[in-house]
Amino acid sequence: MSVKSLEKRLRHLTANAVRDYRMIEDGDRIMVCLSGGKDSYAMLEMLRLLRERAPVRFEITAVNLDQKQPGWPEHVLPEYLDGLGVDYRILEQDTYSVVKSVLPEGKTMCSLCSRLRRGALYTAAEEMGMTKIALGHHRDDLVETLFLNMFYGGRLATMPPKLKSNDGKHVVIRPLAYVPEAYLEDYAERKGFPIIPCNLCGSQPNLKRADIKRMIRAWEEEDPNRLNIILRSMQNVRPSHLADSDQFDFESLQGSIAAGMPDPVTGEEDAFAGLATAMGDPAR
């Protein structure tokens, strides 16, 4: 696939996600979170291309958070963004020292670091009057997170393409939600993005996510369309065919004949009301 064809495919997938989830509206001011990795570089490129053709007007500002990690090349992103002529802002907050002071040596830093980074970006977005915050998570990230939550968290959840923050102040969008990671790897190499490695802080890799990544990569080798099917399943949820009573009212389901009739033996409307108590706890 040529660079032009690859870029066209990326633009098409990004535009579809933006349209399907109404990620961008007229007059939006979008904070494009730029980490120095392949995904955020590609996201910035896609949003720049979409801005040229979109039927609505929106502004983009690239924002990077300098967390004062040892060895962080401070010149790379400003030089790159100056060359593009993109509006940008470099935030500075020493979250690295905070994380190091809290976590024991050898512990993975990513989770706490991520929370501190998110807080800094939310604060900046509010100060700058941004209406949307764009993150560079792609299709594979969504699938990986789904299985991480299933295997290790006991819940069906992933990164949604669009969400509102817990405080209700911010709308987060993921324009690359439909884009395979392999496309982004190829695109980054062909475009020659100045990638800044994510291991500067010396943190350990997320071993659970690495295991999930290997698993889904193996699946994709068997069937190149499998991850797209999994993504489609996230968009086709049927609560009545799962087992969450908070999402579907299983208790009120009754056959038309039995509905409202008391139990013929006990006379109780709910013959199983005391069953759990009567049976006792098998663990005791």
Give a three-class secondary structure readout of the chain. CCHHHHHHHHHHHHHHHHHHCCCCCCCEEEEEECCCCHHHHHHHHHHHHHHHHCCCCEEEEEEEEECCCCCCCCCHHHHHHHHHCCCEEEEECCHHHHHHHHCCCCCCCHHHHHHHHHHHHHHHHHHHCCCEEECCCCHHHHHHHHHHHHHHHCCCCCCCCEEECCCCCCEEECCCCCCCHHHHHHHHHHHCCCCCCCCCCCCCCCHHHHHHHHHHHHHHHHCCCHHHHHHHHHCCCCHHHCCCCCCCCCCCCCCCCCCCCCCCCCCCCCCCCCHHHHHCCCCC
pLDDT of residue 272: 58
pLDDT of residue 72: 84
pLDDT, tens only, 90-106: 998 776 667 666 665 65
pLDDT of residue 2: 87
All residue ranges of the chain with pLDDT < 70 are: 95-97, 99-113, 199-206, 256-284
Going from the N-terminus, what domains does the chain have, and what CATH number goes with each?
A: 3-236 (3.40.50.620)
pLDDT, tens only, 124-146: 999 999 999 999 999 999 999 99
pLDDT of residue 92: 86
